[in-house]
Amino acid sequence: MTALSMKRAVPVLIGVGTLVAAIGAIEILIRAGLINRYIVPLPSQIIASFERVIVEEGIPERFWLTLREAFWATVLLSVFGVGIGVLLHRIRILRLATETWVAAMASAPTVLMYPLFLVIFGRNASTIIMMGFVAGLAPVILKTLEGLAGTRRVLIDVGRSFKLTPWQLYWKILFPAALPSIFVGIKLGMIFALINIVGVEFLINFGGLGQLINELAERYDLAGTYAAICFVILVSVLFFIFTERLERWLRPVN
């Protein structure tokens, strides 16, 4: 193993090692009776239940449905969030008038609006995608705005000195400069969206991982419930890997 690949592998190994150690510690604490096993199942039981959940509970279809919903919600909030952020940056009066409202929207419990969305979109995946989209929109707008407004003045001056058009200034300087902040917004938005997607699946009993978690919890299949939650985490992990790759492709060095 070369020194470089070793350098890259160390953080991954530490991360995996910490996770394994934490799981082992929980196993020991439960077996020692320090954590109630009727609230938190043994990690070994959860691991053993994976096969059962995958085969008997139709995990692939549910996982695929939640993944698709999360994907479309992320696409929507990226397109509209970044678009609105750019618009607010361009039109100062609009920004001053609405920035506080957008920030307030970030803390609103939009998941409680699901009956309204059900009336508008019907009991289908569109409702779930739109709920995820609305929940994740505010951080994308705010972080896009922050990134664009935080672009160093001198970089803009360089662009002006080369007589860039307003469009070139955005595309060649402001946008790449703001990219790290925009991606933080997208990742945050994606987390909010996924929480809401699973939450609404849980609430309206439509399908996906959220519905499965609800069913398993009602059956008091704790190990299965936690196993299903692991698949929600997997959706999140896959999106993180995808967005990180995308960011590195768009801006190799921060």
CA distance 187 to 238: 12
CB 86, min distance to another protein, A: 18
Nearest CA-CA partner of 53 in 235, 244, 215: 215
How many of the other CB atoms lie within 10 Å of CB of 4? 8
Binding residues for another protein, rule CB under 8 A, total: 20
Is 7 among the residues that bind another protein (CB under 8 A)? no
Backbone angles phi and psi of 42, in degrees to 5: -65, 135
Is 254 among the residues that bind another protein (CB under 8 A)? yes
State which H helix or E strand residue 109 sits in. none
CB 180, min distance to another protein, A: 9
- Nearest CB to another protein, comparing residues 181 and 196: 181
CB 162, min distance to another protein, A: 5
Per DSSP, 112 falls in state: G
Enumerate residues 6+ apart whose C-beta is below 8 A from 206.
Answer: 123, 124, 125, 127, 128, 200
CA 243 to the chain's CA centroid: 10
CA 138 to the chain's CA centroid: 13
Question: Which stretch in 47-55, 71-79, 203-211, 245-253 sits in contact with another protein by CB under 8 A?
Answer: 245-253
- Nearest CB to another protein, comparing residues 123 and 245: 245
Q: Tell me how far CA of residue 45 lies from CA of 19, 123, 124, 202, 227, in angstroms.
A: 17, 35, 34, 23, 9
Subset of residues 48 to 67 that bind another protein, contact rule: CB under 8 A: none
- Nearest CB to another protein, comparing residues 124 and 165: 165
CB 168, min distance to another protein, A: 7
Subset of residues 126 to 185 that bind another protein, contact rule: CB under 8 A: 152, 154-155, 157-158, 160-164, 168, 172-173, 176-177, 179
CB 62, min distance to another protein, A: 39
132, with CB counted inside 10 A (0-12, 13-18, 19+), is: buried
144: its two tokens:
């896009």
CB 154, min distance to another protein, A: 4
- Nearest CB to another protein, comparing residues 131 and 177: 177
- Nearest CB to another protein, comparing residues 177 and 222: 177
Is 243 among the residues that bind another protein (CB under 8 A)? no
Chain residues that interact with another protein, rule: CB under 8 A: 152, 154-155, 157-158, 160-164, 168, 172-173, 176-177, 179, 251-254
